[in-house]
């Protein structure tokens, strides 16, 4: 994997770059749609390619390990062959999913024991076998196994958790370096900076991660309960340390405003379930603000979903029609909303990139944040 930094905004730390993988090139900053089980819920791949303009999607190691299983994925020739997505794929390590199963998992020095949410069967994730699993999945970018510390954790817990994550990282990195991909193309491995909301722990973690010289680096354990301003502060602390010649991936973030603030602080890659999950519940993000499509106010509004500005879905769909679909519990409502929101997110980071290259991101961003945070 290669990263080329093309431009930095003169009045912020926002960056534009190119990530080159064996499955294609990614223009940054980029938002990555979440395809937990190898599919983005309610969205066809031709829609991801043509309407949404997705350049990379995510898969989830925990879920793919359980279903369809590693044997099936290896027989298929990896996830790209299994699901037919020809562009880059990133897999998280499954750590966040495992650690969210607080009642049915146990942390040890060896790794994390957990019970499947499907059938209750017992499994062990270690730093080493997670690398092996991600090798079998065949992601272009693989994430290290870490513990995702809650945003409200006290310092003693955060210290202990970070130490464990760093020991796991050493083991995972060793396994990555001594193994190769199974399907004839290269795979990158991103360490994850943890440290909760404690600046000194974040700085220490970033320094240790930077020493590895990995192809890219991730910032984890944010947007998990801490205030947004604290999250922004932690991003700044970490990005002061992480190398500028490698992409920086902020995991699991977030709202359109979160994304713009993260880009402003030097983040290159982001993902979140929000555009699809909120879309399925009737919330639409637009260039002019946020709409709850279940509201009565849209019942007689026959204007297009996106009336002016960029159009993310076919303009034949009106607000009144989409509201009718949601109220009637029609599955098409979920699909339209998901496509619309994802296309908006990709448009937003594309606009951010355009303004970074033009050198006026810092003046464009405040105006855009005011627009995207309105409630319509």
Rounded to whole angstroms, what are the CA distances from 330 to 22, 39, 144, 283, 327? 39, 20, 40, 15, 8
The residue to which tokens 């946020």 are assigned: 290
Give the angle subtended at the CA of 183 by the CAs of 182 and 189, to the nearest 5°: 65
Cβ partners under 8 Å of residue 209, min gap 6: 169, 191, 192, 193, 217, 242
Catalytic residues: 92, 271
CB 249 within 8 A of CB 190: yes
Residues whose CB is less than 8 angstroms from the CB of residue 366 and which lie 6 or more positions away in sequence, other chains included: none
Report the length, in residues, of the chain: 376
Q: 105 has which bridge partners? A: 114
353: CB partners within 8 A, 6+ apart: 16, 27, 28, 29
Neighbour tally for 283: CB within 10 Å: 17
The H-assigned helical ranges of 222-314 are 228-239, 256-264, 274-280
Beta-strand runs (E) in the chain = 2-8, 15-21, 24-28, 30-32, 57-60, 89-92, 105-107, 112-115, 122-125, 141-143, 188-190, 192-193, 217-219, 248-250, 269-271, 283-286, 289-292
Helix (H) or strand (E) holding 202: helix 199-212
Find the helix or strand (DSSP H, E) in which 10 lies: none
Please say whether the beta carbons of 373 and 290 come within 8 A: yes
Whether the CB-CB separation of 37 and 82 falls below 8 Å is answered with no
Give the chain's largest Cα–Cα span.
62
């Amino acid at each position: 994997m290669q990263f080329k930094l093309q431009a930095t905004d003169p009045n912020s730390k926002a960056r534009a770059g190119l990530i080159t993988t064996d499955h294609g090139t990614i223009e940054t900053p980029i938002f990555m749609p979440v395809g937990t089980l190898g599919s983005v819920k309610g969205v066809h791949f031709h829609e991801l390619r043509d309407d949404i303009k997705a350049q990379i999607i995510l898969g989830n190691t925990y879920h793919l390990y359980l279903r369809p299983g590693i044997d099936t994925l290896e027989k298929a020739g990896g996830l790209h062959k299994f699901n037919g997505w020809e562009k880059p794929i990133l897999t998280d390590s499954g750590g966040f999913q495992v650690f969210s199963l607080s009642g049915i998992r146990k942390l040890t020095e060896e790794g994390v024991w957990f019970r499947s949410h499907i059938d209750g069967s017992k499994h062990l994730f270690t730093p080493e076998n997670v690398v092996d699993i991600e090798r079998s999945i065949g992601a272009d970018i693989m994430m290290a196994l870490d513990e995702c510390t809650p945003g409200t954790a006290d310092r003693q817990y955060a210290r202990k958790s970070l130490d464990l994550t760093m020991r796991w990282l050493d083991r995972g990195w060793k396994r990555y370096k001594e193994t190769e991909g199974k399907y004839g193309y290269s795979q990158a491995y991103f360490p994850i900076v943890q440290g909760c909301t404690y600046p000194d722990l974040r700085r220490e973690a970033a320094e240790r991660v930077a020493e590895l010289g990995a192809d890219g680096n991730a910032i984890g354990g944010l947007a998990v309960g801490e205030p947004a301003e604290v999250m922004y502060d932690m991003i700044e602390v970490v990005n002061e340390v992480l190398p500028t010649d490698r992409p920086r991936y902020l995991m699991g973030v977030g709202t359109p405003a979160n994304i713009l603030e993260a880009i402003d602080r030097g983040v290159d890659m982001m993902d979140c379930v929000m555009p699809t999950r909120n879309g399925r519940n009737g919330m639409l993000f637009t260039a002019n603000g946020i709409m709850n499509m279940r509201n009565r106010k849209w019942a007689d509004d026959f204007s297009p979903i996106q009336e002016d500005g960029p159009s993310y879905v076919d303009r034949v769909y009106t607000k009144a029609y989409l509201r009718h679909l949601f109220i009637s519990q029609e599955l098409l409502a979920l699909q339209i909303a998901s496509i619309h929101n994802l296309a908006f997110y990709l448009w937003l980071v594309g606009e951010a990139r355009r303004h970074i290259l033009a050198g006026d991101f810092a003046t464009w961003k405040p105006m855009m944040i005011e627009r995207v945070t309105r409630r319509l």
